[in-house]
Amino acid sequence: MKVLFCSSEVAPFSKTGGLGDVSGSLPLALKEAGVRIKVVTPSYSSAQKSGIKTETINDYAVRGRFGPNNTEIFFIRNQDYFKRKGLYQEQGKDYPDNLERFTYFCRQTLQLIKDIDFQPDVIHCNDWQTALIPVYLKTLLRREYFYRKIKTVFTIHNLGYQGVFGRDQFPLTGLDWDLFALDWLEYYGKVNLLKGGLLFSDRLTTVSPTYAREIQTELLGCGLQGVLRKRRNDLKGIINGIDNREWDPQHISGLARNYRQQRPAGKQENKLELQKQCGFVPDRKIPLIGFVGRLADQKGLDLLAPILGALNQLPLQLVILGTGEPRHHRLLRAVSRKYDNIRAFLKFDSGLAARIYAGSDIFIMPSRYEPCGLGQMISFRFGSVPLVRNTGGLADTVIDFDPMRKTGTGLVFDHYEPGALLEAIKRGICLYADRKQWEVLVSRIMKLNFSWEKPARDYRQLYRDVTR
Ligand code: ADP
The alpha carbon of 122 is separated from its chain's Cα centroid by a whole number of angstroms, namely: 22
- Is residue 185 classed as helix, strand or coil in its secondary structure? coil
Most ligand 1 atoms within 8 A of CB, residue of 26, 244, 292 to mutate? 292
Q: In the predicted model, what is the mean pLDDT of residues 278-286?
A: 97
Q: In this structure, are residues 128 and 193 in contact, taking their beta carbons and an 8 Å threshold?
A: yes
Atom of ligand 1 nearest to the CA of 158: 3
Most ligand 1 atoms within 8 A of CB, residue of 294, 384, 394 to mutate? 294
**Dihedral sign (CA 390, 391, 395, 397):** negative
Q: Where are the alpha helices (DSSP H) in 349-417?
A: 350-359, 375-382, 392-397
The residue whose CA is least distant from atom 2 of ligand 1 is: 18
In angstroms, what is the span from residue 321 Cα to ligand 1's centroid?
A: 9
pLDDT at residue 372 tops 90: yes
| 252 within ligand 1 shell (Cβ under 6 A) | no
| 377 within ligand 1 shell (Cβ under 6 A) | no
In angstroms, what is the span from residue 331 Cα to ligand 1's centroid?
A: 20
Orientation angle between helical segments 265-278 and 350-359, nearest 10 degrees: 120
pLDDT reported for residue 263: 75
DSSP 135-167: HHHHTTTTT-GGGTT-EEEEEES-TT---EE-G
Q: Phi, psi (5° rounding) for residue 72? A: -80, 135
pLDDT at residue 453 tops 80: yes
pLDDT reported for residue 313: 97
Q: Which residues pair with 345 in a beta bridge?
A: 321
Atom of ligand 1 nearest to the CA of 22: 7
pLDDT at residue 115 tops 80: yes
Atom of ligand 1 nearest to the CA of 157: 2
pLDDT reported for residue 262: 73
- Is residue 153 classed as helix, strand or coil in its secondary structure? strand
pLDDT at residue 265 tops 90: no
| 349 within ligand 1 shell (Cβ under 6 A) | yes
In angstroms, what is the span from residue 364 Cα to ligand 1's centroid?
A: 13
Q: In the predicted model, what is the mean pLDDT of residues 297-301?
A: 95
Atom of ligand 1 nearest to the CA of 374: 6
pLDDT reported for residue 165: 98
**287 upstream amide cis, omega within 30 of 0:** no
pLDDT reported for residue 261: 76
pLDDT at residue 403 tops 90: no
| 374 within ligand 1 shell (Cβ under 6 A) | yes
pLDDT tens digits along 10-62: 999 999 989 999 999 999 999 999 999 999 999 999 998 999 999 999 999 99
Q: How far apart are CA 260 and CA 448, in angstroms?
A: 14
| 353 within ligand 1 shell (Cβ under 6 A) | yes
- Compute the half-sphere exposure of residue 353: CA atoms within 13 Å on the CB side of its CA: 18
| 375 within ligand 1 shell (Cβ under 6 A) | yes
Q: In this structure, are residues 162 and 222 in contact, taking their beta carbons and an 8 Å threshold?
A: yes
Q: In this structure, are residues 45 and 82 in contact, taking their beta carbons and an 8 Å threshold?
A: yes
pLDDT reported for residue 347: 95
pLDDT at residue 227 tops 90: yes
Q: How far apart are CA 46 and CA 25, in angstroms?
A: 18
Atom of ligand 1 nearest to the CA of 321: 23
pLDDT at residue 91 tops 90: no
pLDDT reported for residue 301: 95
In angstroms, what is the span from residue 293 Cα to ligand 1's centroid?
A: 5
